[in-house]
Amino acid sequence: MSRTITLYDPDDPARPPIPGLIGSGPAMQKVYRLTRQVAKSKASVLLLGETGTGKELIARAIHENSPRKNGPYVRVNCGALTESLLESELFGHVRGAFTGAIENRIGRFEAAHKGTIFLDEINTTTPKLQVKLLRVLQHKEFERVGDTRTIRVDTRVVAASNRDLAEEVAAGRFREDLYYRLNVVTIHIPPLRQRREDIVDLVTHFLQIYNEENDRYVVHIQKEALEALQEYDWPGNVRELQNYIERAVVLAPGDELTLDLLPEVVVRGHQARRQQPPDDIDQLVEQLVKKALEQTDQNATNLYETIVHRVERELIAQVLQQCRGVQVKTAHRLGINRNTLHKKLQQYGLGPKNNGSWQSG
């Protein structure tokens, strides 16, 4: 059986439903559907999702699929600036408004007139700024810092947060009225661990990108490496996967992405899962039968008896280990009485080792 998987044909890469957005699973299909629907409207949109899930890609897709696509698209990271700097960045300032304000400067809302402004990490804004943002959303007007002249704009707002804004409102950290103004349509972008079926598509996409950037030809992936990627929990989400694939492409000696090219945190988790016995009895028995068949001479005349004894011995040993040597609990899980279990332990020579595991003595 081949241990290598060909992920894509470099001359005919798969195209995502919306350019830049990757994944064909049900979770992402819902995101695509909402993105297309809301893009055509004038409604404010709130994007909720963990860091690295691709909220900015969704925001840009909303703009590019909207009637405003020929207008400006302006992004502001609200979490990257102090209150005073962010206020000036969003609304602009006039000369002399503060130290260093040597000339008039327009803000991002003015720059996004007739287009879209994307307010990333809006949950980090202060109460003062939240008041000004509410006014822009309600009345489409504001004043530059240090000025009294009111400026009107026609700007669509798409906001994003890596925290649940409803919880932030309940905790008193975010204005309820602003939340409802932003929350006309909410799109939840699922974390990568909840859409593992999309990992192959994402790996294919990033391989294509980094093969082209680095003049490489990594088009295959070792089966074990793909399993490790699909098992990992991805706290950094798609952005973390992207970084790991770039690293693997740069370091790969040939055309295959192998397990050793992945970071230790991914490899270590994969190896630990391979060594850990499954909790489900049916799954454990299936695994043990497969192992016993591999270890037994298929031409043996007593094949059935040999397989049954090997599976029974390993099953008892592993369940006993899972139950930390408590024989009453082990017998209950196996569905036998304690006397029967005791006889089986003697029959198979099973006893505790110093490290708490059980094997034949």
Cα-based angle 218, 220, 222 (whole degrees, multiple of 5): 120
Tokens at 343, concatenated: 């006889």
Report the pLDDT averaged over residues 163-181: 94
Report the pLDDT averaged over residues 252-278: 81
pLDDT, position 300: 64
> Could you identify the residue written with the tokens 């707002």?
157
Residues of the chain with CATH 3.40.50.300: 26-192
* Minimum mean pLDDT range among 17-21, 116-120, 138-142, 237-241: 17-21
pLDDT, position 92: 85
pLDDT tens by residue, 310-319: 888 888 888 8
HEC per residue, the chain: CCCEEECCCCCCCCCCCECCECCCCHHHHHHHHHHHHHHCCCCCEEEECCCCCCHHHHHHHHHHCCCCCCCCEEEEEHHHCCHHHHHHHHHCECCCCCCCCCCCECCHHHHCCCCEEEEECHHHCCHHHHHHHHHHHHHCEEECECCCCEEECCCEEEEEECCCHHHHHHCCCCCHHHHHHHCCEEEECCCHHHCHHHHHHHHHHHHHHHHHHHCCCCCEEEHHHHHHHHHCCCCCHHHHHHHHHHHHHHHCCCCEECHHHCCHHHHHHHHHHHHCCCCCHHHHHHHHHHHHHHHCCCCCCCHHHHHHHHHHHHHHHHHHHHCCCCHHHHHHHHCCCHHHHHHHHHHCCEEECCCCCEEEC
Residues of the chain with CATH 1.10.10.60: 281-360
> How sure is the predictor about 12, in pLDDT bands with cuts at 50, 70 and 90?
very low
Q: 26-192 domain in CATH 3.40.47.10?
A: no
pLDDT, position 361: 43
Tokens at 11, concatenated: 């001359």
Amino acid at 160: A
Pairing of strands 256-257, 185-188: unpaired
| Percent of the chain residues past pLDDT 70, beyond the cut | 84
> How sure is the predictor about 6, in pLDDT bands with cuts at 50, 70 and 90?
low
> Could you identify the residue written with the tokens 């489900």?
280
Residues of the chain with CATH 1.10.8.60: 4-11+195-275
pLDDT, position 2: 45
* Minimum mean pLDDT range among 171-185, 191-205, 266-280: 266-280
User: What architecture is the 4-11+195-275 domain classified under in CATH?
Assistant: Orthogonal Bundle (1.10)
Please tell me whether the overall predicted TM-score, pTM, comes out greater than 0.85 for this model.
no
CATH of domain 281-360: 1.10.10.60
* Minimum mean pLDDT range among 69-73, 181-185, 206-210, 269-273: 269-273
